[in-house]
Structure 1
Amino acid sequence: METKRPISFIRNGIVRLPPGFRFHPTDEELVVQYLKRKAFSCSLPAAVIPEINLCNFDPWDLPGEGEGERYFFNLVDRSAFHRSIRATGSGYWKAAGKPKPVVATASRELVGVKRVLVFHKGKPLRGSATDWVMHEYCLPSNLAQRSNSIRCFVEQSKDWVVCRIFERRTDGVAENRRRRKRRFGNGRVELDPSCSSSSSCVTDLEEEEEGEEGDEGSSKAIDSPDHV
């Protein structure tokens, strides 16, 4: 009888998934099953998301193996939600577009707030945009306050967020746009069979880029998790 190979662990007790497995939760799963449980000090489904202070790392220096998406818990000062810029060593994360609600599929209840940030190299407001993107998720203000009331060992002025960070492929974005513009002879838009109804990282970023210029003048308002 073949012996099952145990799951190996990396530093800080974070699970390394076996070959062929990929951690790719939906927005709702990431907020409800991981962020909410983390905020309320409940056990997590799996120890696959490490804690980190993102301000101490440039995106290319973040811990993790391989390419693709990386996930982190970050304890953020509540005042940071009202800032559109987060500085790091070589640049800063800048909010793109407005926060979006994360709604539970079954109950249609607001369970979280999602923001998109793009990393810029250089000094704040003078840097150049890169292909590094962060999706930051926080709990609605009412849940965040409740979680703080039971976490005596964490500063009351800070809240947990969970972040998905990845380096987008610009060639893929351009190809997606070309496919959407391609039309059949009968005028119908050609749909890529690989596309699904669920949101993707590329789709989210494209939507934010289209609205970024219009939202530039109101950047102070887009950081608040109450704006949904």
Structure 2
Amino acid sequence: MEPTHRALPVGFRFRPTNCEISNYFLKKKALGQPMKARTIPEECHDIFSRHPRDLPGYPSEEHWYYFCRKRDNQVTSNSHNLWTPIGEETNVLDPKNNDALVGIKRRFTLIAQEEEESDNICLSDDEEALKYNWFMDEISLPQTVTNTDWVLCHIFGKKTKPETTDLSTIDSESE
């Protein structure tokens, strides 16, 4: 199923906390309960094999949320990218409920392989300036809540500045 892009009214953004993701969206999805939220994350079962630039709303969107089924090994690759886990699992705690465990978060990063220079000959200045470090937070429910293979993935990019070389330092070094 191809995910769709759902627009919110002007001035609103969809940025639930990890606790809200666990307690509201993921728990209701796992238990088959209806959600009253205006924006409900889509299902996308091939999210670990997709580059963020292939998601609806790119490049205007910088955050995406998708339900998918957890697999034994989430790391997948194709000829251009590789999602790989980074760091340790962290607990998602509910501060309103005596820090009860409501979820488990795993972080992944996209390791993009450099494409051949011949593929990028005609990039405009705007396209070259769009550089991101991509991350995915996968949130699952603990076994104490329900035994399910549903997870919610939050994909986001952190903008990085293009590398520039200060020509004045190069000129002074050569003298």
TM-score after normalising by structure 2:
0.70
- Give 5+ residue unaligned stretches, structure 2: 115-131, 162-175
Structure (1 or 2) with the greater helix fraction:
1
Match among 41, 48, 60 for residue 49 of structure 1: 41
SS at structure 2 position matched to 1:87: coil
Out of 12, 32, 47, the position equivalent to 2:23 is: 32
Aligned-pair CA distance for 1:14: 6.6
Q: Deviations over 1:83-108 (max 9, x none)?
A: 6x333552211111101000011221
5 Å matches for 1:19-98? Answer: 19-46=10-37, 47-53=39-45, 54-64=47-57, 66-77=60-71, 79-80=72-73, 85-88=75-78, 90-98=80-88
1:197-220 superposed Cα distances (whole Å, 9 cap, x missing partner): xxxxxxxxxxxxxxxxxxxxxxxx
Point out where structure 1 has 5 or more consecutive residues left out of the alignment: 1-10, 124-129, 149-158, 172-228
Cα distance in 1 for residues equivalent to 2:29 and 2:83:
24
Q: Tell me what 1:135 maps to.
A: 137
Which has the larger share of strand? Answer: 2
Aligned-residue sequence identity (percent) comes to 31
Q: What is the identity, as a one-letter code, of the residue corresponding to 1:97?
A: G
* Letter of the structure 2 residue corresponding to residue 139 of structure 1: L
RMSD of the alignment, in Å? 2.4
Counterpart position of 2:109: 118
Letter in 1 for 2:77: A
TM-score, normalised via structure 1 length: 0.55
